Homo-oligomer: A and B are copies of this chain.
Amino acid sequence: MSSPTSAAPVGRPRSGARRLPAATAREEILDAAAELFASRGYAATSTRLIAERVGIRQASLYYHFANKEQILAELLESTVRPSLTFAASLSARSPADALHTLVHYDVGVLLAAPWNIGILYALPEIASEPFAQFRREREALRAVYRSLTAAAGGSALTGEFIFGLAENVIGMRRDLSTLPPADALQDAVADAALRLLGAA
């Protein structure tokens, strides 16, 4: 994004670090961290490396995030919070229709993230305190799946299977070299959810 071979702009910090508007810096830190966590692993990624990748000083990173945990927590929350918010808008629909619509939306969120951060749900670190908010939000989303499934006549286990079916696109993104276009995959998973429910 910077052009290191051209003349350095006036006012460029001596260390070569970039100055970015706060919102941009925050987004770039999250994006670089997501790429590094997903490709190298969480344990193997330091805040120093994230700062280097963004092209800012490590001190600037700490201005935006207290530590590496906070960066991961925000990334993880971004995989569930939109669907949780969206679910609140579905109360006027029939349970099966609401479930179909939620699965479609949720799969869209998981596919649209530039890095497949959901693969980090399995990290043992997620059980620790910095990720309590993420765990609560993911459990709240799971509860919505279960309650819509129950309202549509499905069992608690079926609710669990449908929640897993939606999250399974994380594994598909990780494992398959090609995926159908997002909207086709969203349709297919949402339709499959209704088959699990036993609906037509």
Contact = CB atoms under 8 A, between A and B. Distances in A.
Contacts of A82: none
A164 B172 contact: yes
Interface stretch (A67-75, A87-95, A188-196): A188-196
Nearest to A189: B161
A23 to B, nearest CB: 29
Interface in A77-125: 119-125
A41 B158 contact: no
A136 interface: no
Interface residues of A, number: 36
Interface in A119-148: 119-125, 142
Contacts of A41: 43, 123-125
Listed from nearest, the 7 A-B pairs whose CB atoms lie closest are A164-B168, A43-B43, A119-B122, A41-B124, A122-B122, A157-B188, A161-B192
25 contacts: A38-B124, A40-B124, A41-B123, A41-B124, A43-B43, A43-B44, A44-B124, A119-B122, A121-B122, A122-B171, A122-B174, A142-B175, A155-B188, A157-B188, A157-B192, A158-B192, A160-B172, A160-B176, A161-B189, A161-B192, A164-B168, A165-B165, A165-B168, A167-B171, A192-B196
